[in-house]
Amino acid sequence: MTLYLDIGNTWIKYQLERPGLAPQQGRVESLNDIDEPVDKLVFASVRTKQATRALLSCFLARGVPCYEAYVSSSAELSCDYDTPATLGIDRWLAALAAQQRFGDCIVADAGTALTVDWVSGGRYRGGVIVQGLQQSVNNLLSGTHLVGEVSFDSLPCVPTNTAHAVGLGAMAQAEGLIDGLRVRWQTDAPLVLTGGDAPNLIRFMDGRAEYCPNLVIEGLKKASLREVK
């Protein structure tokens, strides 16, 4: 069985491919929560090398072959980044998978950070990184008092309390960023949303996007890999 891991800043998304069975997938905080036998592990990580190796140590100790995805231009997608090795692997994999499915597109990954990247003409053109929805709210609340719990569910069109005002403000910032970049990049390519906050954002944007929850793992299956010893 092959285990695919998307190791993010907060969560670990996984997909376990089992012969003759539907893939098992989900998200966990610790790999101890995955107790299935594994023959091969393929991963992408935005954590430090030391933290990632510690996370995978139980598999490495058992001799499970572990393969890391890395940024590498191919016939399908070339990389315009000044130094491709410094491009976040999650951004590259999401772009790789989205390009395979949609061709030219804008890819927004709404997680701990919000990244917005542009794919055009078989090229990863680049993109931007800002704080994610929840991080934006947390930063604001750290310097204020008596706001109360902020939720992104069921936000009104015009907020009439402070918690809703903060939640809608974060959503509107994200939407404004994406729409502004579309104008700056002069593209009407489809928007593809992924990441933990993507369901909230796509509702706010009235469905003006394709929702693909497992883009990074899809990209893992198409990426260049190197074995980790």
153 in a known ligand binding site:
no
The per-residue pLDDT for range 53-103, each reduced to its tens digit, is 999 999 999 999 999 999 999 888 999 999 999 999 999 999 999 999 999
Which residues are identified as catalytic? 90
Domain boundaries, the chain: 2-70+220-228, 79-214
The per-residue pLDDT for range 102-159, each reduced to its tens digit, is 999 999 999 999 999 999 999 999 999 999 999 999 888 887 776 778 888 888 889 8
Q: What is the mean pLDDT of the chain?
A: 93
- CATH 3.30.420.40 corresponds to the domain 2-70+220-228: yes
Domain 79-214 carries which CATH code?
3.30.420.40
86 in a known ligand binding site:
no
106 in a known ligand binding site:
no
Decide: 80 and 126 in contact? Cβ < 8 Å: yes
